[in-house]
Amino acid sequence: MPNETFNIWHGSAKSPTWNMAADELLLRQSAIVGQAVLRLYSWNQPSSSFGYFQRYAEVSLWTDLRPLIRRPTGGGLVRHDENEWTYSLTFPSGHAWWKLKAEISYQQVHNWIRRAFERCGVMTELCSEVVHAGFGQCFIGAEKNDLLYRGKKIAGAAQRRNREGLLIQGSIQAKDTGIERSSWESAMLEEINWKDWYPVETFIENITTLSQQKYELDNHNLRR
């Protein structure tokens, strides 16, 4: 991706609801931002998130980790704790990534992550076929183009593509690789043009409002 220019947002640890609201607002405002944004973030408490189209009544039986928050993207149940690295990517409509078919953008982001691990001396590979093991749970089994380390899934993602842009939310569980997150992040940035970026104060205020008025409410998380 030699011609790509990304805004890089290194965020501090935030609440589960704030994190989901931030990613949704990045998608809504992607045309205003005008460039791709890679957000690298963490959580201020252990929590779980689940896909937009999943049923709360089902996923709540698979984990006792709370809070349990519905994501703006699809995919399955994901555990978020100190061993997990979380990122999101947003692209405005019309961007080259937005134009890709979902399978290709999924493959492309995991190839990017794979190359970053390789720079760190860790060899990983893309999953060539679906491995059924735990329906609806992201890190039990694997989907095609998930990232594998020694045959085990260590990275998955979910997408939402609409008229506003493309949002990719990804989770990496790389404890077994022995790599520090900072090393992986640096390796990710080696192949792109990038600049540090942080939203203006009104954007941050809007994230907080969206978190309070949507992601903190049962009528959002318990729907379906």
pLDDT in tens, 32-53: 999 999 999 999 999 999 999 9
Average pLDDT over residues 2-17: 88
Cα 205 to the center of its chain, rounded Å? 22
Share of the chain above pLDDT 90, in %: 79
Quote the domain boundaries for residue 106.
22-221
For residue 12, being part of any structural domain is answered with: no
Domain total in the chain: 1
Average pLDDT over residues 57-77: 91
* pLDDT for the residue numbered 138: 67
Average pLDDT over residues 83-99: 96
Edge-to-edge strand list for the sheet holding 193-196: 125-126, 147-149, 152-161, 165-172, 85-92, 36-41, 5-10, 193-196
Whichever domain contains 65, its CATH number is: 3.30.930.10
Categorize the per-residue pLDDT at 195 as very low, low, confident or very high, splitting at 50, 70 and 90.
very high
Q: Does residue 187 have a pLDDT over 80?
A: yes
* pLDDT for the residue numbered 168: 98
* pLDDT for the residue numbered 129: 81
Is 120 a known active-site residue? no
- 67, 17 contact by CB (below 8 A): yes
More confident residue, 129 or 196: 196
* pLDDT for the residue numbered 194: 96
Q: Catalytic pick from 27, 36, 78, 138?
A: 138
For residue 178, being part of any structural domain is answered with: yes
* pLDDT for the residue numbered 223: 77
CB within 8 Å of 140: residues ≥ 6 apart: 133, 134
Q: Which parts of 77-195 fold into alpha helices (H)?
A: 96-99, 102-119, 181-189
Q: Does residue 2 have a pLDDT over 60?
A: no
